[in-house]
Structure 1
């Protein structure tokens, strides 16, 4: 399921965090469950007077995990600035932005743009997760694909409340840390909305085909993240990815932009904690690779 993997790898935080708008009867039970200890990956970039910590997050998790320990806790506690994908207080805005951008502007129904074969498979996928066939008729294909990925995860108990981003944000607010965001909500959702129509259709087709296995696939990625196995995480996320537009727009270009900002940030003294989707810090074209290409080295700490 290349598109599902790419969605998770791309770490589109605003899209996933806006998913809190969907109800989850399992959330309270998860919040009271005992947290399991994990050792997610952490990297350090530093010069004489600046330290930048690179920490990969998982936006949604099925259970509480004890991530705030050891080098990660020390790194966050020492930081004067938190860097995230979008501003930590813009989650509510993201919900409205998604709905606005996802609205079709061609006057057509989404299902009417699909071939007979595609439509049958798409309607069957919606029915299989208890969603009316007309649910996303007024939306673009990328939005339907996004929902077909996220709704089964939510049903399976995945929640942003147990995800890492919200917990990092809460600790940053408690300490009144400065927050720099690499991107705005509009820009991030616009990455999906501006994908070409053929790419959006291919994205939806592959998500529909992969739907029965989405939870198993994401479970494997979460397990690799918990173990701090960045190499295996990259393998899982990169497997079978074949669309150059998806890879360039959602991953490579963004990593290059972020690395450029991080290199420039080394010119200013201080300690910075960067918390972005884990896929951006794993595999070919990662932020670390982009930094290395610019002559900046990173060291694995955990």
Structure 2
């Protein structure tokens, strides 16, 4: 992700790096045996899914975040498939309108000051249950250190700070490795990129920011989920990152692909001001926009290429499963074994 739903949140609050995390299912008994050594050096990455109907085919790359900090993606197959394509379909994202641009954001800086802070000067110790704050204090000391500024932040922003610090300590990072490589390959081959953009109109962004600063944000579920993931699932995240980098689809399938943004996204989207600005039902709108664009590309182009978050590629209710429901054949990189669930 970069992750498309959190483009909505970034647009809503005009902040950068809102959390995209949640608790995954309880680890199986053999989780302790997972290799937590992060891979480095040149790695192949995962294979490509094939979506087809007749003689038209779209090659789909599933993306993942976080990935190992220090590895080099050997993207030869991706570059080759892009070069033979008529079009590259990008992952969907949401855009705020009007687009204020750099100078517009400068004008909003006075409103941005304090947007991360709890209303009325409250600290995390004031707004969190004692047990949750105790867990936070332990993890904060381990991954962030003695910084006091984060204690003034709303839980959703403090959670993000902890998450980034924790994955960094594990040798992982959120970097646009895949998107950058795909854009570079498309530019080199002269293949046009097709964005999938859902525009959300914000008539008065300054007023929205002012309202957000005062809003009661029910983000304790997000905070708790993030802490649980940091506390128990760093090994699982590392295993998934390694599996993506090395192209181990069996391991990727064995590790759950869940909606990692859920609690944190919901904390924002449940606000009345989010509904007032057309953000309710945003996931269904984004899903439809991408599926309609993919259908159009598949019908028009003999060969095309697309990127999507891995969860939306492999899940039984993901985007490729929806394309199958529209009559397209779906073939996994390993010849259909463990293909997208029916």
What TM-score do you get using the length of structure 1 for normalisation?
0.66
**Match among 226, 237, 244 for residue 218 of structure 1:** 237
Structure 1, residues 51-72: CA drift from partner, whole Å, max 9, x if none? Answer: 32210123432332443134x3
Q: Structure 1 stretches of 5 or more lacking a match?
A: 1-7, 20-32, 188-192
Structure 1, residues 180-222: CA drift from partner, whole Å, max 9, x if none? Answer: 33346989xxxxx9xx944x31121122133244431211112
Which residues in structure 2 correspond to 1:39-58 (within 5 Å)?
39-48=45-54, 50-58=56-64
Aligned to 1:3: none
Aligned residues: 265
Cα gap change, 1:134/1:276 in structure 2, threshold over 3 Å: closer, same or farther? farther
Retained in 2: the 8 A contact 1:10–1:250? no
Q: Structure 2 stretches of 5 or more lacking a match?
A: 11-15, 18-38, 94-98, 202-211, 270-280, 335-342
How far apart are the structure 1 equivalents of 2:282 and 2:134? Answer: 29
Which residues in structure 2 correspond to 1:1-302 (within 5 Å)?
35-48=41-54, 50-59=56-65, 60-70=67-77, 72-85=78-91, 103=116, 106-107=119-120, 109=122, 111=124, 112-132=126-146, 134-137=148-151, 139-160=153-174, 163-183=177-197, 197-198=217-218, 200-230=219-249, 232-238=251-257, 254-255=286-287, 257-269=289-301, 271-301=303-333
Cα gap change, 1:58/1:136 in structure 2, threshold over 3 Å: closer, same or farther? same
Larger Rg: 2
Cα gap change, 1:238/1:55 in structure 2, threshold over 3 Å: closer, same or farther? closer
SS of residue in 2 equivalent to 1:181: strand
Cα gap change, 1:13/1:68 in structure 2, threshold over 3 Å: closer, same or farther? farther
Shift of 1:276: 2.4
How far apart are the structure 2 equivalents of 1:182 and 1:11? Answer: 10
How far apart are the structure 2 equivalents of 1:180 and 1:131? Answer: 43
How far apart are the structure 2 equivalents of 1:115 and 1:140? Answer: 14
Cα gap change, 1:181/1:126 in structure 2, threshold over 3 Å: closer, same or farther? farther
Cα gap change, 1:47/1:120 in structure 2, threshold over 3 Å: closer, same or farther? same
Aligned to 1:29: none
- The structure whose residues are more often helix, as a share, is 1
How far apart are the structure 2 equivalents of 1:155 and 1:186? Answer: 36
Retained in 2: the 8 A contact 1:11–1:278? no
Cα gap change, 1:162/1:221 in structure 2, threshold over 3 Å: closer, same or farther? same
What TM-score do you get using the length of structure 2 for normalisation?
0.60
Moved more, 203-212 or 250-259: 250-259
How far apart are the structure 2 equivalents of 1:227 and 1:202? Answer: 33
Shift of 1:10: 5.8
Retained in 1: the 8 A contact 2:258–2:311? no
